[in-house]
Structure 1
C-alpha cells in the first residue's frame, strides 16, 4: 500500500446505521490520484482489519488536511480510535453483483451464484443500495423453489448454528405476519415447554409491523442473549424467547431485514428463506407456520396462502425440517393491544387467566400449541388441544413463562406512554371491518415499535355494536408530535368501517 494513501482517522460521531461511511475532503490527494468521487466504494485498512465503505466528500473546512472522518459503524467494524493512521484504496470488484444484474433481466440464478451473493452480503461487501437491488429483484414470486432452497441453505451456512445433543425433537413456530396484535409466540412457547418439550424460540424484531415478538418480549425481559445464554436458558427451562439478531444465527438475513424494513418490503422467497434459515440454525426439527389470510392481511387470498404453504413445505423438506402450515383467519386484528407493551399486556392477561384476556388470542395460541403437540406426539389435533388447554387453564403455562423470564434476566415492569388519547366512535352502528394495514400504520406513526409503550388498544371488535361517542381505541405515544401525527393520519384514513348490519 502506498504511504501516500494513508490518512489520520477522525471519529465524526455520525450514525449511518449499519452502512460504513468514510468522509474525505474534496481536495484530498487520494481522491485525485485514485479517481474517487462521492459514493465511490473504497477499501479501508488498519492493521489486520479491513472494511468496504461508501465515500462521502466534504468541504475543506470540515476536515483538516490528511484526515479522514469515519461514521460510528465504520469506526467499530474497523476497530480504530481517533488519531490512528489508515490506508485507503479501491474496493475489490464484487463479482456476485453480476448475478444480481442477471436476475434483474429475469434469469434464474444457480446455487453458486446465490451462495456468492449471500456470502458477500454477510461479509458486508454490499452497499445498502446493492442489497436493496437484490431484495427488489427477488420480491413477488420472482424466485422459484430451487432458488429459495439455495437462498435458505446459503443463509444458514453463513451463520452460527445451535445444536442440542441430548434432544432429537426440537420444536418451533412462526407467523408470517400482517395481523396486528397476533402475539401468540410467547403463549405457545410457555404452553409447549411446560409439557417438557424443547422450543428454543429466536425471533426477529418488527420488519413492517408495529411489533415483532422480540420487541414485545424486550418489554418484559432481556432478549439480547448470546449463544451460551440461549443454551443455558433452554437447558434450564426447555425454552427461550430471544432476539435472533443478537446471536448471528443468520447474519445475512439480519442485514436483509434491515433493508426490508426501510423499503417496507417482505418478498415471498426472502420471507421463506428468512423464516426457515432461522429455524434450521436454531436446530429445529419440526415447525408450525401460521399463515393468516384476509382482505387487508399480508396474504389476501386462499390461493396465495396455499402456494406459500406449498413452498414452505417443499423448502423445509429439502432442508431437513418438517413444516406444517396452518392457514388461519386474518380478517381482523388479534387481541386488543397493538405495539410492544400493549401486546405484552394481552399475553400476560391470557397466561394469568384474567377475565379481560382477549379470547381470540387465547384460542389462536391454543390452536397452534395443539398442532405442535400433534407433531411432537404424533397424535390427533383434538388430543393436542385438550393437552394445551389443561396446561394453560391450570396455571402451568404462566409458571413456566415466569421461569423463562427469570432465566433470561428477570421480569421488567412495563413502561407507560407519556401521552394517551381515546378516540370516540363517530357514529352509531356495527363495526363491520378493520383495515389491518392501516391500523398497523397508525400504531407505527404513534411511535411503535421504536418506543415500546407506543401503540394502541382497541375497545371494539368486528361485529360489535357501537354507539356514537363510545370509545373506539386508545392511542399511546411518547411525544405530543407523534400523537398528533398519528391522529392526523387517522382522520384522513378509513381504518374502521362502521355501518348498519
Structure 2
C-alpha cells in the first residue's frame, strides 16, 4: 500500500497503475469499486487508474487520505485487493430512481451502505437527486432521519433535559449559537453543542469558535468538558454522529440541493444522535434567505414538528427575521469579535445579534420546568448583563484550549477593499447570498481574518460615497476575486424608506 496525499472529500479512492498485474487480471475499470483488506480492517474504494509510477508503482495500491486513515495501517503495509460486491441496497436505490415510495427497511439499507462508503459519488448523487426530484413524504423523511441515527454513534448524557439550538442557515454573521450556549449553561442547563464547519458559507459555528479555542476534541475529552461546564462548543466531526449525513452533504452542497426533506433529516438526526431532548429551531425568512415566505416557513415547520415528534424530540420552532445579515462581521475573526463584544456588554456590540441571541436563549430556558413561559428572555438578559455568560464562555474557552484571541485588536486580512454607495438613498435591500459569496471569495473561512465588515444595515440613510462595508483579504488573488464580485453586484440595493421589505416574525 502507498499513501497518496490527496484529499478526495468524503470519498475513498484507490489508485492502481494501468500496468499493474492485479488491475489486468481482475478486470478492474476506472470508477469501479474495490475492497481493500489489511490487518483485519477493510475499506471500500473507487478505482482511479494512473499511468505515472511517481504516483503508484505497478506493484502498489495507492489510497487517498480518508481511505488511508480508515484502513488504519502504515504506509508500505501489504494489502489484499478484490472487486467489491455491489451494495445490497442498490435495488432500493433503483426503485427510488423510478419514483417509488420506499419503506423503512429500504432507507435503513441505503443509509447503512452510505455510511459504510459502499456508494460511489455517482451513486450518492443519484440517491440525493432522486429524493429531491420525487419529494419525500413526511413518513419517508422520518424513515431517513431514523436510519441516519441508527447507523452512527448515539450519545446518552443520562439527564432528563439536554437542550440544543440550531438555525437552518443562509444568513451571514448569524452567530447566535456562541451566545445562546454560554447563557443557558450559566443557568445550569446541559447544552453539549457540536457544530459543523462551513461548507458553502463564510463561517460555521465551529470555524468561528476555532478562532477562540480548539474545537477538534476527542469524545472522552468533550464529555469531560460537558460534565464540568454544562456545555461545549465543538466540531461534531470527531463524534461520528449521523455519519451518513456528512457523506450525503458532500454531494448535496456542490449541487446546491437543499430540499426540505433532506434538510429535516440532516438536522434532526444530528440532534437526536447528540443526545438532545429539547431543541429550539431558528427558521429565518426573507427575500434572500433559504425560506422566502411565511407559508413556506409554516410548511417547513410542520414537517420538522412531525419528524421530531416521531423521534421523541421536543421541538420549539421560531420564525425569525432573515432580511439581512445578523451582526456586522461575516467571516471567522469578524464574527468572533461580534460575539465577544456582546458577551462583554460592549456599547459598540451589534444589537441585532444581542437581541436575537437573547430571544433564542429565552426560548431554550423555558424548556426547564421551573421557568414559566414568557420569563426566559428576562432571565437570559440578566445572565448576559451580569457577566455570568461571559464567565461561562471564558471557562469553555479555557477548557477547550484557548487560542489567545484579542477581539479588541483582531488580526484581520491585511488587504482591504472599501465598497461605497454610488448614489444617495436608504438601504432597502441586502443580498445575503451575495455578501456570503464576497466573503468566501475574499478567503473566508480558510483564512480566518478574511471576510466582510458591514457598516450599513436595512433602513440606514446613506449619501453618495458613504462606506457600505469593508472586505478583508490576506492574498492579492482573493482580494481581486472579491473586487470583481463587488463590481458586478455589491449586494446593496438603495431606494426609499418605503422600499424596505417588511417581515413577519415570532419575536
Q: TM-score range by the shorter chain?
A: over 0.9
Q: How does 1:67-466 map to 2 (within 5 A)?
A: 67-139=60-132, 142-165=135-158, 167-377=159-369, 379-413=371-405, 415-466=411-462
1:140–1:268 CA contact under 8 A, matched in 2: no
- Which moves more between the two structures, 313-322 or 139-148? 139-148
1:42–1:53 CA contact under 8 A, matched in 2: yes
Task: Kindly state the Cα deviation for residue 141 of structure 1 after the two structures are TM-superposed.
Answer: 7.2
Task: Kindly state the Cα deviation for residue 494 of structure 1 after the two structures are TM-superposed.
Answer: 5.1
Q: 1:61 to 1:368 in 2, by over 3 A?
A: closer
Question: Which residue of 20, 30, 36 corresponds with 1:38?
Answer: 30
Separation in 1 of the partners of 2:104 and 2:224?
36
Task: Kindly state the Cα deviation for residue 161 of structure 1 after the two structures are TM-superposed.
Answer: 1.9
Task: Kindly state the Cα deviation for residue 369 of structure 1 after the two structures are TM-superposed.
Answer: 1.0
Confirm or deny that 1:495 pairs with 2:488: no
Task: Kindly state the Cα deviation for residue 363 of structure 1 after the two structures are TM-superposed.
Answer: 0.8
Q: 1:61 to 1:464 in 2, by over 3 A?
A: same
2:16–2:58 CA contact under 8 A, matched in 1: no
Q: 1:81 to 1:231 in 2, by over 3 A?
A: closer
SS in 2 for 1:333: coil
Separation in 2 of the partners of 1:58 and 1:164?
48
1:141–1:268 CA contact under 8 A, matched in 2: no
- Which moves more between the two structures, 262-271 or 341-350? 262-271
RMSD over aligned CA atoms reads 1.8
Residue number in structure 2 paired with 1:5:
none
Can you list the C-alpha shifts for 1:371-403, whole angstroms capped at 9, x where unaligned?
112222365543111111111111111111111
Residue number in structure 1 paired with 2:467:
471
Task: Kindly state the Cα deviation for residue 205 of structure 1 after the two structures are TM-superposed.
Answer: 1.3
Can you list the C-alpha shifts for 1:155-196, whole angstroms capped at 9, x where unaligned?
11122222222x211111101011111110011111111111
Separation in 1 of the partners of 2:60 and 2:35?
16
1:418–1:477 CA contact under 8 A, matched in 2: yes
Separation in 2 of the partners of 1:204 and 1:59?
38
Separation in 1 of the partners of 2:345 and 2:47?
56
Residue number in structure 1 paired with 2:500:
none
Question: TM-score by structure 1 length?
Answer: 0.94
- Which moves more between the two structures, 221-230 or 364-373? 221-230
Can you list the C-alpha shifts for 1:244-295, whole angstroms capped at 9, x where unaligned?
1121122112222233333333222221112111211221111110000111
Q: 1:253 to 1:26 in 2, by over 3 A?
A: same
Question: TM-score by structure 2 length?
Answer: 0.93
Separation in 1 of the partners of 2:127 and 2:339?
37
